[in-house]
Amino acid sequence: MTEKSAELVRLNELKAFVSTKAGVKGLVDTKITEVPRIFHIPSSSTLSNNKPSDISGLNLTVPIIDLGDGNTSAARNVLVSKIKEAAENWGFFQVINHGIPLTVLEDIKQGVRRFHEEDPEVKKQYFATDFNTRFAYNTNFDIHYSSPMNWKDSFTCYTCPQDPLKPEEIPLACRDVVIEYSKHVMELGGLLFQLLSEALGLDSEILKNMDCLKGLLMLCHYYPPCPQPDLTLGISKHTDNSFITILLQDQIGGLRVLHQDSWVDVTPVPGALVISIGDFMQLITNDKFLSMEHRVRANRDGPRISVACFVSSGVFPNSTVYGPIKELLSDENPAKYRDITIPEYTVGYLASIFDGKSHLSKFRI
């Protein structure tokens, strides 16, 4: 088979899969024992990104930070110092005592599961292949039929303080919990932006005053059990187009961050939330805080549930222009990025999200 004909076969298989609107769960429900080719990672690639994945001897652990430790001025300084170190060196950290009740965390996980385990005909009513819909169910990010597909299904919902989602726009299976959880996440986002502002040595309100908390995109993933997890990925390596991402994961695990040329497991901690620095934060901090590549392993166990909340306005209208924060610049530290709007960045980001190249690098001066 020629390369051209093989690509045609792949595209036909991909279109057939997407046309079912049943997602990866639909495949698993048919009792498949092999992963279809459209999900296979390229033979030239490996799950370890062509680097050793055994990190057992390196003793690398994503920082865990207690947000309840900042009750005095001295304790607040210690807390800010821990966040600064994590944002600069890891781009990832986990937080405990974050203020969101454990019952709410469990409720949103159950709500995500309920929707994804709905009758397929119910889910199809919400099917869409782009991020321009306020609530959308889709089987993959790969709206441009890129390769390979990821072993997961998702639904997205976009809200913001100025224009919140109407209850009737959200399916009954997850309506109340999505509304409740998004309110808690926005409150936590405000606290995190204060701490990150202080970690930059700036006024605690500077990030909020820059409209960094203007919007919230919730991306709710359902990873069905995979019969051949070594052949595919739950999500391919990427960085996030956000200021920060607030992630809730269940206890199955699978999230990994690239650190010191090794893939490090972000081990689930009961009640914790994972915070990651996004591309926009790296840009406005002029590379002081780092947006790091991460990915998700496929698992034989499942389904795995995760809820990623991207604090940004995405493709929705936002005329605010962002560039490196002027207070951080000097003759010794000039601006490294040109000014952009978030919609301008996001359109190109979505078109090349898993091509293995940094979209942020395209905006370097």
CATH number at residue 159: 2.60.120.330
Question: Of 235-249, 274-288, 314-328, where does mean pLDDT reach its minimum?
Answer: 314-328
Q: Which amino acid is at 217?
A: L
Our count of domains for the chain comes to 1
Closest by Cα among 80, 273, 269, 291 to 185: 273
pLDDT of the residue at 58: 62
Is 340 within the bounds of a domain? yes
Read out DSSP for 279-300? HHHHHHTTTSS----EEEE--S
- pLDDT tier at 267 (50, 70, 90 boundaries)? very high
43, 46, 51, 53: CA torsion to nearest 10? -160
pLDDT of the residue at 147: 67
Each residue of 134-178: pLDDT tens digit? 899 988 765 554 568 899 999 999 877 667 778 999 999 999 999
DSSP single-letter state for residue 169: G
Q: How far apart are CA 92 and CA 111, in angstroms?
A: 26
Q: Locate all alpha helices (DSSP H) within the chain, ordered by sequence.
A: 3-20, 23-29, 73-89, 102-116, 120-124, 175-199, 206-209, 279-284, 342-351
Angle 11-12-16 (CA atoms, 0-180°, nearest 5)? 115
Is 16 within the bounds of a domain? no
Q: How far apart are CA 69 and CA 76, in angstroms?
A: 7
Taking residues 331-335, report their average pLDDT. Answer: 96
- pLDDT tier at 326 (50, 70, 90 boundaries)? very high
Q: How far apart are CA 221 and CA 305, in angstroms?
A: 6
Is 19 within the bounds of a domain? no
Name residue, tokens 């498949």: 32
Is 5 within the bounds of a domain? no
Is 27 within the bounds of a domain? no
Q: What share of the chain is helix, strand, coil (3-state, %, to 5)?
A: 35, 20, 45
pTM, 2 dp: 0.93
pLDDT of the residue at 56: 44
Q: How far apart are CA 94 and CA 192, in angstroms?
A: 12
Each residue of 96-115: pLDDT tens digit? 999 999 999 999 999 999 99
pLDDT of the residue at 65: 97
Query: 71 or 190, which is more confident?
Result: 190
174, 180, 182, 186: CA torsion to nearest 10? -170
Q: How far apart are CA 37 and CA 330, in angstroms?
A: 51
Checking 31-35 for CB contacts under 8 A at 24+ apart, the result is 32/227, 33/227, 34/227, 34/228, 35/151, 35/226, 35/227, 35/228, 35/231, 35/232
Is 22 within the bounds of a domain? no
pLDDT of the residue at 50: 41
Is 183 within the bounds of a domain? yes
Q: Is 178 exposed, middle or buried (0-12, 13-18, 19+ CB in 10 A)?
A: buried
Q: How many residues does the chain have?
A: 365
Domain that includes residue 347, residue range: 61-363
Query: Which two three-digit tokens encode residue 196?
Result: 């990150």
Is 125 within the bounds of a domain? yes
